[in-house]
Structure 1
């Protein structure tokens, strides 16, 4: 009995998957008409009215809607197949100004972006392609079910040319019953072609919605320019912090130490008791200056990271937290030192945010390496609502990782939980 159930289970899953693709095809057919056709009409109208000046006012709004539809299809590709479609738009056309003074300039940037015209071409082709590829499987299944269950029972009220009368006239019950095997065949054909036609439609989307090689190069240059600028700014800010810490901390204490020793030298013969107190104060100042220098060095490159590696350093961070932290680390070897340092400080800042802002009573750290990428996750069961623009230091972490071509994703709905995920390309 168990073997029969085991054999039946993959078949049922396969049938459910094919039915799922039929439903997806119906969604594709609806979107190709309700979305692409409507937006294509608005786009053409916008281009036609640009000579009158009206088009310049509505082009940014229309293109925002077009890009929203295209991005929906890009996300859909990832949800359906696990392989998404990258966004090809230039950053200047995404973050452009929408005020009156900048509208014309923004329209020029939009029109000069090749991705804009590829979106328009995609909308024009999506109407027939999406309708045929999306509607064909579900139509065959629906027509087949009609032949299997509706035509044999209601052929008299349907008339000779309805039901399966497209193949032959149904004039008696025997002819109506012949619709059952024919309907079964059509249902099978519809279910069989649904997945490949769905994937063919996604390939069509990928061919037009994915960045071209030149677009990828342009986006890469733009990204490198931005990350280089951010890296320079971050380095300058770090140098200013070190200078400020030295000036306000260790340097001030060393100056005080020198003054006390100078005073002690002048009082050595006349007031030994004062000299004794001054030397005790000097020893305390030197000890405090040494502690501050150690803290400064620890902020630049923690000794625990150099001594114990990323694994031991992260576990030390977890042990220092006031709440229980689950730690799962799978690193076969050590990453390069700059990657180790960046990962350590990102995890440390994420844990600091957990303590300061989340109100959580539990946290987790997962660190693993696979396929040339180092992936770290810091989660908590707190109140959520964390954002990179919220002033919690997460934007700074994004800038730090961008210098290494890394990414930082934040999933923190209101009410929690929060999951901060970072990925860095690296070699061990």
Structure 2
């Protein structure tokens, strides 16, 4: 979870239930949706299995002719179509979000290129494998779930309908055992009560059993109908590359704006003042001297702004002395007292070191602006192959970044280098932010 100090504060409350989870499970909407998923799985799996086996067998048999290739491509296309249905069914009934697999990318236009891409696609064959695996599992889960649900509710309500047997069947109740000489029926109050209690056990256990069955369904959907780990990693790297490009462009715009509005404007004014002082040098030396003195002050201010700008790009103290000195300098400029403790056996890669520096800098700025804290602390250490950063404060806490914020952007920057940002900010504080970065020394 990523939160931010500047997005307002709210208290999160979990819904309270009077009944424990084990007793309310048979009546929850989630249990009904999961049972509905299992019921629908059998007809869907039957159609999908029949389509896949028939079309793949037909296509394989026709491979001796040209017709086998389009039949196989059509079979895989149908499996991918069923995959869309299965992902939607898992999303609607199991609350399982599975991303679409990698799309087909034919190198050329035309039917032949499309069929080649379909047959070469690993995602297409994973859909076909799903059709073959899902069918026996759907038969098993359907049989188990329907048996437990029907037996559970049937036995639980047995005291309400056992009268049907003596009234219409001529028997005392459900027959447990019978032969030519002896029969055992559930017909007395004790046996009826025990039957209802057994039904209660089945009824309470059925939702959890169905949940376990649908967990396997979720693994099948996620593993065979979603993107492969390799393609997901490629998409992630492409997204990270976009974040890096956007961040670099934003930094360049910030530097350009700071130069234009700060040092550049002062240097232009300085040139104009020196030009006027040069013109007045012979006519009014005192005025010229005063103007030169003012220009000297402007030069000092411009130099300080340039130093600040250079520090914002990459501070010299970070390059020369490392994170300990650089973070101590940042902490000294924070609006609240900050304790800094850096325990590193060596220096990480310069790029990681720079990201760590700017991460802590932005977190301390948030503390100064939004937290209302009286004190803060920064801890930096190495844990195996990870650089760990922890920034804490005793402010008001309760921050929420679900609508996007500075910390959300910071998390995206860390994610671009395989980093992680974790924020714990309960209402009333304290707030703790932990960042993990790869060491890459």
More helix by share: 1
The question of 1:135 aligning with 2:146 is answered yes
Q: Equivalent residues in 2 for 1:23-422 (5 A)?
A: 26-34=32-40, 37=43, 64-72=84-92, 75=95, 87=98, 89-90=100-101, 113-114=123-124, 116-117=127-128, 124=135, 127-147=138-158, 149-150=159-160, 155-157=165-167, 159-160=169-170, 164-165=174-175, 174=187, 177-185=190-198, 187-188=200-201, 191=204, 195=208, 198-210=211-223, 215-258=228-271, 260-261=273-274, 264=277, 267-297=280-310, 299-300=312-313, 309=327, 316=334, 337-341=353-357, 343-344=359-360, 347=363, 379-380=398-399, 386=403, 396-397=409-410, 399-406=412-419
Q: Aligned residue pairs: how many?
A: 365
Counterpart-to-counterpart distance in 2, 1:37 and 1:368:
57
Partner of 2:65: none
Name the SS for the 1:178 alignment partner. Answer: helix
With over 3 angstroms needed to count, the CA separation of the structure-2 counterparts of 1:403 and 1:268, relative to structure 1, is same
Q: Using a 3 Å threshold, how does the CA distance of structure 1 residues 216 and 177 change in structure 2: closer, same or farther? A: same
Per-residue deviation, 1:275: 1.4
* Structure 2 residue 25 is the aligned partner of structure 1 residue 20: yes
| Distance in structure 1 (CA, Å) of the matches to 2:225 and 2:343 | 36
Indicate the SS of the match to 1:210.
helix
Q: Is the 8 A contact 1:160 1:171 kept in 2?
A: no
CA distance 1:315–1:121, change in 2 (3 Å): farther
Q: What is the deviation of 1:282?
A: 0.8
Give distance in 1, aligned partners of 2:205 and 2:437.
Answer: 43
* Unmatched segments (≥5 aa) in structure 1: 1-12, 77-85, 97-103, 321-326, 411-420
Q: What is the Cα deviation at residue 119 of structure 1? A: 5.9
Distance 1:136 1:145 in 2: 14
1:6 maps to none
TM-score, normalising length: structure 2: 0.55
Structure number with bigger Rg:
2
The answer for unaligned runs of 5 or more in structure 2 is 1-17, 56-69, 106-112, 424-431
Q: Which residue of 1 aligns with 2:13?
A: none
Q: What secondary structure, in the 3-state scheme, does the structure 2 residue paired with 1:113 have?
A: helix
Name the CA shift for 1:313/1:293 in 2 (closer, same or farther; >3 Å): same
Rounded to whole Å, the distance in 1 between the matches of 2:222 and 2:398 is 34
Q: Which one has more relative contact order, counting CA pairs under 8 Å at least 6 apart?
A: 2
